Amino acid sequence: MDLPVEHLATFAAIVDEGSFEGAARRLHITPSAVSQRVKNMEQRVGSVLLRRSRPIELTPAGSTVLRVARQLERITGDAARELGIGPAARTVLPIVVNADSLATWFVPAIARAARETGAYFEIVRADETISTERLRSGEVVAALTATREPVAGCTSTLLGTDRYRAVAAPEFVAHFFSEGIGAETLRAAPMIEFDRHDIFQQRFIRRITRAKVSPPRHMVPSSHEFALAIELGLGWGMVPELQCREALDAGRLVELQPGAAIELPLYWQRWNLPSPLIDQLSRVVREEAATALLQQ
């Protein structure tokens, strides 16, 4: 696939600006020139790359081309840093991370990476089960994900395992689970979910009951407030051990079923291209994960 560098840069600008006109203003060329470059790329690729809507939408082939464009930006940015013609302080690496990791161990990792690399980081928050979509589209250079299979053009490395425990406030347990943990008591006890992608509570229910149970539920889409809501008795939920260990030790939380924790392997997926910045970031993430997560 032979795509001119300026065409790839134009394609990335269209996605960033959301329109051909916006890309034209950014690149100081005419909208017709932008359109012509896209048509030329589509002829070379043999597929439609963009749906001409407002804002524009990528086709599957367009997502692949965008990833190439983003990777080219990264390579040229690294080269500029090494040649001393590009200020490191302006380098921004977008990464997708799940909320629970952000609330526990990942922020210290990214703070260390910023000190050691001089780069800036844009953290995109997304559930670990869907974060690879951001990698596939070329939106981010790396992702903390539960998906082992590497996205095309990426590598996947197991970092460790995050352990989740089903917990609730002591008063909540006394009220709803005085007769034990089972299908009937779980059916009546309110549970808390992070959002509509959150499946941890249902995984715990199936493990305990082997039955289809649909409890009343609250949704609290913030990791810190999720744990706080459980402590305040709003409902029960699955909380990372890293986040609830102190509250369990202090008696502010009670584990519903000791020995029934759910373990979530976490993988670091990154673009498979030579990049000193991404290499340094990945090294720091691996080292920090080795001390925070369970290792097999």
Given this model, what pLDDT does residue 52 score? Answer: 81
- The answer, yes or no, to whether residue 127 has pLDDT greater than 90, is no
Q: In the prediction, which pLDDT does 88 show?
A: 45
Helix/strand/coil (H, E, C) string of the chain? Answer: CCCCHHHHHHHHHHHHHCCHHHHHHHHCCCHHHHHHHHHHHHHHHCCCCEECCCCCEECHHHHHHHHHHHHHHHHHHHHHHHHCCCCHHHCEEEEEECHHHHHHCHHHHHHHHHHHHCCEEEEEECCCCCCHHHHHCCCCCEEEECCCCCCCCEEEEEEEEEEEEEEECHHHHHHHCCCCCCHHHHHHCCEEECCCCCCHHHHHHHHHHCCCCCCCEEECCCHHHHHHHHHCCCCEEEEEHHHHHHHHHHCCCEECCCCCCEEEEEEEEEECCCCHHHHHHHHHHHHHHHHHCECC
Structure pTM? 0.77
Residue 129 reports pLDDT greater than 90: no
Quote the pLDDT of residue 255. Answer: 97
* Residue 138 in domain: no
Q: Does the residue 288 lie in any domain? A: no
- Asked whether residue 37 carries a pLDDT value surpassing 80, the answer given is yes
Confidence check: pLDDT of 164 > 50: yes
Domain assignment present for residue 121? The answer is no
Check pLDDT > 50 for residue 89: no
Which residue range(s) make up the domain with 171? 162-263
In a domain, 179, yes or no: yes
Mean pLDDT of 144-153: 91
Comparing 81-90, 162-171, 178-187, which segment has the lowest mean pLDDT?
81-90
CATH number at 248 reads: 3.40.190.10
pLDDT of residue 201: 96
What per-residue confidence (pLDDT) applies to 224? 94
pLDDT at res. 114: 94
Number of domain units in the chain = 1
Summarised one tens digit per residue, pLDDT across range 197-243 is: 899 999 999 999 988 899 999 999 999 999 999 999 999 999 999 99
The answer as to whether 66 is a domain residue is: no
pLDDT at 1: 66
Q: What is the pLDDT of residues 11-31, one digit of tens each?
A: 988 988 889 999 889 888 998
Q: Does a structural domain hold residue 181?
A: yes
- Is 258 within the bounds of a domain? yes
- Is residue 217 one of the residues assigned to a domain? yes
- Mean of pLDDT over the chain: 90
pLDDT number for residue 138: 78
